[in-house]
Amino acid sequence: MEDTDHLILTPNIDGADDFYADLLAAHEGLSKAESDALNARLVLVLANHIGDRSILKQALKAAARHPQ
């Protein structure tokens, strides 16, 4: 497999703290249902951007292994 065939699980976001602040700001003032819907839309937008089913399957498995 090429490197692009693996899900990146190490820190890989420029300005990660800034992104986190943006994410929190996007949820500000939303009800639980609105916040959940925003998260669902964000997941679908990012999944579409990734576009690789193999990577998306790896992401699903990684997320399922780390429940909150």
pLDDT-based confidence at 68, cuts 50/70/90?
Answer: low
**Structural domains of the chain, count:** 1
DSSP conformational letter for 15:
T
Determine the Cα–Cα distance for residues 35 and 28; give it in Å rounded to an integer.
Answer: 9
Name the packing angle between helices 32-50 and 16-27 (round to 10°).
Answer: 140
Range of the domain at 21: 3-65
Measured CA distances, 29 to 17, 21, 23, 37 (Å): 20, 14, 12, 13
Compute the distance between CA of residue 35 and CA of residue 40 in angstroms, rounded to an integer. 9
Residue 25: predicted pLDDT: 98
Q: What is the pTM of this model?
A: 0.83
What is the model's pLDDT at position 2? 56
The confidence band for 46, taking pLDDT boundaries of 50, 70 and 90, is very high
Mean pLDDT of the chain: 93
